[in-house]
Every structure is written in structure tokens, then in C-alpha cells.
Amino acid sequence: MKTILETLDGGTQWLEKKGIEDARRNMQLLICHQLDISKIQLYTRFDQLLDETHLTPLREKLKLRGEGTPIQHLLGTVEFFRREFKTDKRALIPRPETEELVEIAIELANKKLSHPPFIGPPAPLTPIETEPPTHKTKLKILDMGCGSGVIGITLAAELGMPVEVTCADISDEALSLAKENTELLGIKNVTFLTSNLFSRVDSKYDLIIANLPYVPETDRPELAPELDHDPDLALYGGHDGLDIIKIFITQVTNHLNKDAQIALEIGIHQSSTVENLLKLAGFSDISTTQDLAGIPRFPIAKF
Ligand code: GLN
């Protein structure tokens, strides 16, 4: 038997020795998950004794964490845009910067929704008994390379019924996770498509969002061991990281409605190449928004 505080201190020290960043926070999360309690509850129960029914699974998880298994895989969930999503080895673990891409996408979608043809006719000058204006046409959004579905599902949830979201991915495994997330969150306005980029996409969209693989293969040796747990397919984009994004840019123009926009997530040092590719493909109003760390991360363009 050990108290929660002893377990927390002991586990933290062990993780620190293994070189794990934020060791104490990791240990807190593992204990909270094991006991199914919140962080606040954890602090109020430091003296509570834990027996082997809790200590044994905790030791197992601690060992895996020390060996580089990402904390998100051990917890099985990740918070993204205030919702809890399931995450596991079927898809890339959602990254915090991708929440910024979602914010950009929401802003772009809202601007479109406030302009025809997505809103109903203007209100009549003299009040008559009519239904309030309804959305005649739904805004069509595509999340290309959706992985666990966090982008598309969040957009569908935040924007609601005026939008129709398609989540596409080459990986059936990733799509199965995205479907589970949609069901868990009770989101209705999302459909799924297995497609190698646009190979099986026949529709056109008003907004296409894509967080495609963009990590250069040459970075692999220096990456944190946690990244070995993301599928290679979701992470690496060839020698310079841009193999998939280049093909995406050549294909996407056939799938955009008039005045449609795209918003992407890219890696460090890729923005000028991507902006040039977008210009060559016929896009206008091209700009790249920086992420919170100041890295040009989110190219936006209009077609
Ligand atoms: N931002 C992720 C990372 O560097 C990569 C995500 C991606 O390739 N789309 O770990």
C-alpha cells in the first residue's frame, strides 16, 4: 500500500530519470485516469492509500510512458477544442496547434454563412407571417486527411446544421476512429469517405481544410520517441515533407466551388514553397497565419 502522494512523488522521480518532460503532470494524469477522478480531487486525497488493484496497472502504464508511449495513448483520450476525443495508434494524436487551424476554419465558414447563397432571402420590409430565414444551401466542408476526425467533427459540432462535413482519409483504420469519435460526441452532420487524396471524391466544396502529413523524412532521426507511435502515413511527407501537400494542391482545384477557400497546416520553413505552389495552381488571396509559437503554419487561399 502507498498513499497517493507517495505514488505521485515516486512515479514523478522515475519518469524524470527516464527523461520524460512534464513528469509530474504525466504522473498526475495517470493517477487521475486510474482512479477516475479529477485533478482537484487528486489534491484533496493525497493521504488516500492505494492497493495493488490500482498500483499494478499504474506501474504498467508508468513503464510504458518511460519507454516513450505517448501519454495520450495511455489515457486513450485527448482534449481538442473543449471536447474529449478518443485517440489511439490508428491515427495521429491531435496536436494543440491544430486547434488554431480549426479557429481559422470557423471564422472562414462563418463569413461564408453570413453571405448568400447560404442564408435565406432578405427579410420582407413589412412583417408577414413567415418562417425565419432558413439556410437554403448547406455549406460544404471537406476535412482531407481527417485522421481521428478532430478537425471535421469539431467544425460540424461548432457550426451546426448549416454545414455538411465530409471527413476523408486514405486509412480505413483512421476513419474507423473518426467514426467512433463522431458517435461518442453525437455529431450528425458528418459523413466519411475512404480516399487517397481526391481519388474517390466527386463533389465540390466551399471550404477544404487539410492537416496532411508534412514532416520531412530527413527529420526522423531527431524526432521524439513518442512520434514513433503516430502512424508513419500520417506524419511523413517524403524528403522535404511536401510530397503529399504538392499532390493535394494539384488536385484540390477540381473540387472547389466558386469563391471556395482552403486552409492548411504545414511545417516550419514550408510556407514560401506552399504559397508559390498555391499561386501557380491559380489561387488568390494567399496568406499564411502564424501559430502561437510564431511559425508560419496555416496557409489560407481562395479559388
Ligand atoms: N505537427 C505534427 C508534428 O510535428 C505533424 C502533423 C502532421 O504531419 N500533419 O508532430
Cα 23 to Cα 4, 58, 60, 65, 284: the distances in Å are 16, 14, 16, 10, 46
pLDDT score of 115? 79
Is the alpha carbon torsion for 223, 270, 266, 249 positive or negative? Answer: negative
User: How much distance in Å is there from the Cα of 213 to the middle of ligand 1?
Assistant: 7
Mutate to test the pocket of ligand 1, among 87, 211, 218 (most ligand atoms within 8 A of CB): 211
Q: Which residues of the chain have pLDDT under 70?
A: 116-136
Distance, in Å, from the CA atom of 205 to the CA atom of 202, rounded to the nearest integer, reads 10
Grid cell digits, residue 140: 460544404
User: How much distance in Å is there from the Cα of 1 to the middle of ligand 1?
Assistant: 41
Cα 274 to Cα 78, 143, 186, 235, 237: the distances in Å are 30, 19, 36, 17, 13
Nearest-Å Rg of the Cα atoms of the chain is 22
Grid cell digits, residue 124: 420582407
Contact status, residue 42 vs residue 31, Cβ threshold 8 Å: yes
Distance, in Å, from the CA atom of 266 to the CA atom of 13, rounded to the nearest integer, reads 36
User: Does residue 213 line the site of ligand 1, with CB under 6 A?
Assistant: yes
Chain segment 238-257, per-residue pLDDT in tens: 999 999 999 999 999 999 99
Distance, in Å, from the CA atom of 179 to the CA atom of 165, rounded to the nearest integer, reads 13
Atom of ligand 1 nearest to the CA of 227: 10
Chain segment 199-238, per-residue pLDDT in tens: 999 999 999 999 999 999 999 999 999 999 999 999 999 9
User: How much distance in Å is there from the Cα of 214 to the middle of ligand 1?
Assistant: 6
pLDDT score of 126? 62
User: Does residue 72 line the site of ligand 1, with CB under 6 A?
Assistant: no
Instruction: Give start and end residues of each alpha helix (H) in the chain.
Output: 4-17, 23-35, 39-44, 52-66, 71-75, 97-113, 150-159, 172-185, 232-235, 243-252, 271-280
User: How much distance in Å is there from the Cα of 94 to the middle of ligand 1?
Assistant: 9
pTM of the full predicted structure? 0.92
pLDDT score of 206? 98
User: Does residue 211 line the site of ligand 1, with CB under 6 A?
Assistant: yes
| 8-14 contacts, C-beta under 8 A, 24 or more apart | 8/42, 8/46, 11/58, 11/62, 14/62, 14/66
Instruction: For residue 148, give the DSSP letter.
Output: T
pLDDT score of 137? 84
Which residues, listed in sequence order, are joined to residue 139 by a DSSP beta bridge? Answer: 163
Distance, in Å, from the CA atom of 23 to the CA atom of 253, rounded to the nearest integer, reads 46
Locus of grid cell 467533427: 153
Which helix (H) or strand (E) segment is 85 a member of? Answer: strand 83-86
Closest by CA position to 267, among listed 219, 221, 226: 219
Distance, in Å, from the CA atom of 18 to the CA atom of 98, rounded to the nearest integer, reads 28
Grid cell digits, residue 208: 477544404
